[in-house]
Amino acid sequence: MIEQHHFADGSPVKLPAVVPKLSETPGQPRWVGPALGEHTEEVLKSLGYDSAAIDELAKTGAIGKPDN
């Protein structure tokens, strides 16, 4: 079972549904998770990449960055 939810920016995301569905406590995701690329820059910096190298990777399309 798949359910559609939304990121904070309103973009849709499909997630596995909570199973089993109980009548009194059906359950639902509380958070859809981080946006695609949300932690990429942080991780690359922790691996020793500087901002210029990260920007170049983003410019060439090798990595994605969130739109914010």
Q: Where are the alpha helices (DSSP H) in 1-68?
A: 40-46, 51-60
Please give the model's pTM, rounded to 2 decimal places.
0.61
pLDDT band at 22 (very low <50, low <70, confident <90, very high): confident
Give the separation between CA 31 and CA 65, rounded to whole angstroms: 20
Q: Which helix (H) or strand (E) holds 14?
A: strand 12-16
pLDDT band at 35 (very low <50, low <70, confident <90, very high): confident
